[in-house]
Amino acid sequence: MFDVAIIGAGPAGTAAAFDLLTAGASVLIIDKVAFPRKKACAGGITPKGIQLFQYDISSVIRRVCRSVKIRKTNKQSFLIQSDNILCYMTKREDLDAFSLNEVIKKGGQFKIAKKIHQIHETSTGVQIVTDIGSFKASYLIGADGANSRVRRMVIKKRMWQQQWALEADVLVDHPEQYKMEFDFSGKHKGYHWIFPKGDHVNIGIYSIETRKKLRTQQLFEYANHRFGTQMGTQSLRAIKGYPICTGRYSFENKRILFAGDAAGLAERLLGEGIYFAIKSGQDAAKAILEASKNRLESAGIIYHRKLKTMQRDLSIYNLGAHWFYRFPNLSLKMVSSSFFHWRFARGYAAGKTISRILFK
Ligand SMILES: Cc1cc2nc3c(=O)[nH]c(=O)nc-3n(C[C@H](O)[C@H](O)[C@H](O)COP(=O)(O)OP(=O)(O)OC[C@H]3O[C@@H](n4cnc5c(N)ncnc54)[C@H](O)[C@@H]3O)c2cc1C
């Protein structure tokens, strides 16, 4: 019997596991694949996300960006510059394998189970039946990403929305010349990105149109448009698409908590999810530790309370996405203003959340 079982070893799962282990809990962490593994993600971590790591991840940071290029149209762009770092670039296969290793070094037990067959919650614990056996724990954290099987098994109703994003690595000459870039010149409601990663760049498309899946052809076209026709398909490596879940967390279980994308805790404006995954994983860990000490309230109730501030942030992003993509020209005009640079870029670089930038 473990104190806590966690399904999913992405940023949400490993963040929860690390804090639980630090507090002396026994932790089982299950993933469906061995690490390192590829995860569809551009691997950009904002300063507020970096601050959350409980260990030094500098060995998996490939580049730091102090400026962001915003492309309004094919011909018009502007630069947001800061003295401080605005974004840290990593590759998710490196970051996630590194984090899982930290969890294992702390004493976490890692198992690969390809299939979760059943999950039973009782008043004293949770039983997880998998293809490699059955495990018991006092609590379970579902951290298995946007297509969460745990969520589908435990919660029947649907209360989240899915955005889509598609990414690929591109080998370019002189990758060091590229800046981090958000390109809003496309026709879809969303943007393309170029993220420099040391020896290559990562490009991608993000869309807030929940019903329209992105096509890989769109990424080829973008690569050709930006890097020249000779780019061709062979220069685009490991194209990966995946949904990003945004929604409102309203699960009612006492001993099964959900964190990160499994809980719909990503923001809708730009699709940032790593910060929210780590923060919610850490909050889930805190809620479990508090509930096991003070048995008056369930971990589920304590967790709901802890998530309130984050949910307020996510609502702001949701509203922001609604208006930003409805009136992109006006919105980009505002983003290019010196007031925006002064307030938002400074706040972001200082690691502030959106509520703190706006209201404090
Ligand atoms: C193309 C793309 C680009 C993105 N770029 C960024 C970015 O630059 N910055 C940013 O902040 N966010 C980005 N995001 C969002 C970010 O990737 C997610 O929000 C983040 O990964 C969520 O972390 P998580 O731990 O909740 O889930 P995940 O990272 O998805 O991890 C879930 C884990 O669960 C495992 N798993 C899944 N199913 C099972 C199962 N049945 N049994 C056991 N294990 C299972 C998976 O193997 C995986 O290891 C991007 C997303 C996409 C799709």
Q: How confident is the model at residue 126 (pLDDT cuts 50, 70, 90)?
A: very high
For residue 343, the CA-to-ligand 1 centroid distance in Å is: 30
- The residue with greater pLDDT, 38 or 173, is 38
CA distances to 113, 158, 245, 271, 286 from 101, in Å? 18, 34, 26, 27, 21
Strand locations in 152-235 (E): 160-170, 180-183, 190-196, 201-207
Q: Say if residue 231's pLDDT is above 60.
A: no
Q: How confident is the model at residue 104 (pLDDT cuts 50, 70, 90)?
A: very high
For residue 225, the CA-to-ligand 1 centroid distance in Å is: 28
Q: How confident is the model at residue 199 (pLDDT cuts 50, 70, 90)?
A: confident
- The residue with greater pLDDT, 230 or 111, is 111
- Which neighbouring-strand residues pair with 253? none
What percentage of the chain has pLDDT greater than the value 90?
A: 66
For 337-348, what is the mean pLDDT? 83
* Residues of the domain holding 18: 2-359
Q: Say if residue 232's pLDDT is above 90.
A: no
Q: How confident is the model at residue 71 (pLDDT cuts 50, 70, 90)?
A: very high
Which amino acid residue places its CA nearest to atom 16 of ligand 1? Answer: 273
Residues having CB closer than 6 A to ligand 1 are 7-13, 30-33, 39-44, 116, 143-145, 149, 165-167, 204, 242, 244, 260-262, 266, 271-275, 277
Q: How far apart are CA 133 and CA 90, in angstroms?
A: 34
Query: Among 68, 92, 218, 274, which residue has the most ligand 1 atoms within 8 Å of its CB, making it the best to mutate?
Result: 274
Mean pLDDT lowest for which of 143-152, 235-244, 302-311, 312-321? Answer: 235-244
Query: Which of ligand 1's atoms lies nearest the C-alpha of 274?
Result: 11
User: In the prediction, which pLDDT does 251 show?
Assistant: 73
Q: How confident is the model at residue 227 (pLDDT cuts 50, 70, 90)?
A: confident
User: In the prediction, which pLDDT does 94 show?
Assistant: 97
* Tens-digit pLDDT profile for residues 279-310: 999 999 999 999 999 878 999 999 999 999 99
- Looking at the structure of the chain, the number of domains it has is 1
Query: Which of ligand 1's atoms lies nearest the C-alpha of 166?
Result: 1
Q: Which residues of 117-127 are buried (b: 16+ CB within 10 A; e: fewer)?
A: eebeeeeebbb
User: In the prediction, which pLDDT does 249 show?
Assistant: 64
Helix (H) or strand (E) holding 25: none
Mean pLDDT lowest for which of 90-104, 218-232, 326-340? Answer: 218-232
For 43-53, what is the mean pLDDT? 97
Walk across the sheet containing 87-90 and list its strands: 44-45, 87-90, 61-65
Q: Say if residue 50's pLDDT is above 90.
A: yes
* Tens-digit pLDDT profile for residues 258-278: 999 999 999 999 999 999 999
Residue 265: CATH number of its domain: 3.50.50.60
Helices (H), the chain: 11-22, 47-50, 92-105, 149-154, 216-227, 274-293, 299-306, 308-326, 328-335, 338-340, 346-349, 354-359
User: In the prediction, which pLDDT does 325 show?
Assistant: 93
For residue 42, the CA-to-ligand 1 centroid distance in Å is: 11
User: In the prediction, which pLDDT does 229 show?
Assistant: 58
Closest CA to 105 of 14, 4, 240, 2: 14
User: In the prediction, which pLDDT does 75 show?
Assistant: 82
User: In the prediction, which pLDDT does 248 show?
Assistant: 67
Q: Say if residue 233's pLDDT is above 80.
A: no
Strands 61-65 and 87-90: antiparallel
